[in-house]
Structure 1
Amino acid sequence: MKKIFLAFTLSLMVCSFSACVILSPKKYKALLAKQDSLNSGWSASQSNNESLETRLARLKADTANLNGELADLRAKYETMDANYSKLRSNSSTEINKLSADLKKREQRLKEVEEVLRKRDEATNQLKAKLQEALLGFTKNGLTVEIKNGKVYVSLTDKLLFPSGSIIIDEKGKQALTSLAEVLKQQRDINIAVEGHTDSQKINNLGQIKDNWDLSVLRSTSVVRFLTEEQKVESVRMTATGKGEFQPLGPNTSAESRSKNRRIEIVLSPKLDELYDLIKQ
């Protein structure tokens, strides 16, 4: 009994000195469960910490990569900006040059249009003068018209030559004399005399072999009359023979063949001013 008391007393003393609290089994189990929960939470926290450190390292690496890409993009942008500035400067220079060239071309175009306007005006005036001067010969197959900016005076062979001849008759000389009076007043006009025939073959005309010969010889007869007798400047004259190869219509009837046998005097204004503009 004494031993029990001593043990009890000793136990009380130990408990009083150590402030020991005697727990019930239920509370003890609760404490153990809480300890296990804390241990689990600690382990989870450690695991989360490691995961966060891994993510942080990855984010730092991604940030470094993005910074590198950003630096590359900035460098490319600066290069593109420099190229754009250079291109804009060059484009401005080219635009100014093209604008100046365009203005120059527009000015030349206006000058050419003015020359052509003057040519057309002169051509119309020349036609009017010729029609007035040659009015008396229109009944004999003489026509005056404008084609491609030129005045064409067409005289049928019966107005100028006897059949198969290259000698100009009196009626033809009268018509050419009236024509020469106008030509001598128009010194800026070039004169081309063209001989034309029908397709009938030439027979028994001595030195005249074919329609080529006949067309050429008739055109030269007209040129000689205008230059030698009427004193039209020879330098302005050209004589050509077209033979049967530029007919006005088919050679199927006497009337049609008569129209094809003709002398055409083609009058064209000198266009030296226009040629000079085109060469520029």
Structure 2
Amino acid sequence: MMKLRIIFPMLFVAVIAVSSCVSTGKYKDLQARYDKLDSNTREMKGKYLLTERNLAIATDRVKSLDDQLASERANNKQLQNALDKCLTSSGQGNLNISKLVDEINRSNRYIQELVNAKNKSDSLNMVLTNNLTRSLNAQEAQDVDVKVLKGVVYISLADNMLYKSGSYEISDKAGATLSKIAKIIKDYNNYDVLIEGNTDNVPISQKNIRNNWDLSALRASSVVMALQTNYQVDPKRLTAGGRGEYNPIADNNTPNGKAQNRRTQIIITPKLDQFMDLIGKAPENQPAKQ
């Protein structure tokens, strides 16, 4: 009897130890998965911030191109006025007139280069937008919004079309639409592509997803992986980023507003090299003082 009294407590302790061991193992596994997710999220946020900065630079470059074009046209007008004065003034020599003509010609050539570059960018964006819009069927057109703002193409996709309900996994019905977008991206290979996730302001409560920052970044990452893996888009051109609930386009106080805010944007931007080269080529000559 004494032996049984000793054995039962020992068995009880052993059962507790085994149970504790299993729980610890599961905890460690979950912790490892969480740490990996946290690391991936931080990495995606870093890449997103870098690309967001590049997007801002691209927008500024387009504006700079417009400003420089306006400035050069004003400079050209001053040169023309100076030439007119030379032609009507008996005190001016042929040398000054010839110099002014050369400056005007250089200014005109530079203006034409600026105009051609801007027209080319605008034309490519228009063709890209038209090609994509025409490829969408009536149902897809309801879930896809395409706009061009300041030289940048924005393709906005509704979350109920892209993802499984309450998830960041790509739904089966999204494949046809993504394949059409991927074709456009591959056809215009001189453009960089930022995938940007956005949510409404309803807190997320799912395992291994801490908040809307995580959800938006994970959704953007899922689209990037689909474009890379399923449609062979060059990953060097792609960046994934999440903006959580902090970039709304509608009022979150209504169901319709929340639906509009739950979106993923594919932002297609021209590379900056051609604009940088043109801005660096600006003529240094100033109109002659009279």
TM-score, structure 2 as length reference: 0.60
One-letter amino acid of the counterpart of residue 217, structure 1: L
Q: Which residue of 1 aligns with 2:196?
A: 194
- Of the two structures, which has the highest relative contact order with CA contacts closer than 8 Å and spacing of 6 or more? 2
Q: 1:183 aligns with which of 177, 182, 185?
A: 185
Q: 1:174 aligns with which of 173, 176, 179?
A: 176
Q: Which residue of 2 aligns with 1:269?
A: 270
Q: 1:124 aligns with which of 109, 126, 136?
A: 126
Checking the alignment, whether the CA contact within 8 Å between 2:178 and 2:227 is kept in structure 1 is yes
Q: CA deviation at 1:144?
A: 1.4
For structure 2, the 5+ residue unaligned runs are: 1-90, 282-290
Checking the alignment, whether the CA contact within 8 Å between 1:133 and 1:182 is kept in structure 2 is no
Q: CA deviation at 1:158?
A: 0.3
Q: CA deviation at 1:103?
A: 4.7
For structure 1, the 5+ residue unaligned runs are: 1-87
Q: Which residue of 1 aligns with 2:158?
A: 156
Checking the alignment, whether the CA contact within 8 Å between 2:133 and 2:141 is kept in structure 1 is no
Instruction: List per-residue Cα deviations over 1:159-187 (Å, max 9, x = no partner).
Output: 11123211000111221112112222221
Instruction: List per-residue Cα deviations over 1:48-83 (Å, max 9, x = no partner).
Output: xxxxxxxxxxxxxxxxxxxxxxxxxxxxxxxxxxxx
1:100-249 to 2 correspondence within 5 Å?
103-203=105-205, 205-249=206-250
Q: CA deviation at 1:242?
A: 1.3
1:257 aligns with 2:258: yes
Percent identity between the two aligned chains? 33
1:96 and 1:202, CA in 2 relative to 1: closer, same or farther beyond 3 A? farther
Checking the alignment, whether the CA contact within 8 Å between 2:182 and 2:233 is kept in structure 1 is yes
Query: Any idea what SS the aligned residue of 1:151 has?
Result: strand
Aligned-pair Cα RMSD in Å: 2.4
Instruction: List per-residue Cα deviations over 1:226-262 (Å, max 9, x = no partner).
Output: 0122101111112111111111111011111011000
Query: Any idea what SS the aligned residue of 1:146 has?
Result: strand
- Distance in 2 (CA, whole Å) between partners of 1:254 and 1:240 is 25
TM-score, structure 1 as length reference: 0.62
One-letter amino acid of the counterpart of residue 266, structure 1: I
Displaced runs of 4+ in structure 1, greater than 4 A? 92-103
Checking the alignment, whether the CA contact within 8 Å between 1:134 and 1:179 is kept in structure 2 is no
Q: CA deviation at 1:135?
A: 2.9
Over alpha carbons, which structure has the higher Rg? 1
